[in-house]
């Protein structure tokens, strides 16, 4: 299992890692979060195509973590 953080990974890279039986999950975080805020989750029994598609987004927030979107004025935007 390989955890990739940062920018979205191209599907061709995830597919190439699959050729070596390396499963990929994608995460996002900041140092202030120590450090992971979101992460994709492996899908048991998923096809190769579904595993690749699942590893592209940044994932969902981790348990116990609160997140919100704010505007430039600091007020909640969504």
pLDDT in tens, 9-43: 899 999 999 999 999 999 998 888 878 899 999 88
The residue among 36, 41, 38, 39 whose CA lies nearest residue 51 is 41
pTM of the entire structure?
Answer: 0.70
Composition of the chain by helix, strand, coil, percent to 5 = 25, 25, 50
Helical axes 48-55 vs 11-19, angle rounded to 10°: 130
């Amino acid at each position: 299992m390989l955890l990739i953080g940062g920018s979205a990974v191209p599907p061709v890279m995830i597919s190439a890692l699959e050729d070596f039986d390396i499963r990929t999950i994608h995460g996002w975080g900041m140092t202030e979060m120590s450090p992971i805020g979101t992460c994709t989750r492996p899908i048991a029994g998923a096809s190769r195509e579904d595993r690749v598609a699942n590893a592209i987004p940044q994932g969902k927030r981790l348990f116990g973590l609160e997140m919100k979107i704010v505007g430039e004025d600091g007020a909640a935007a969504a």
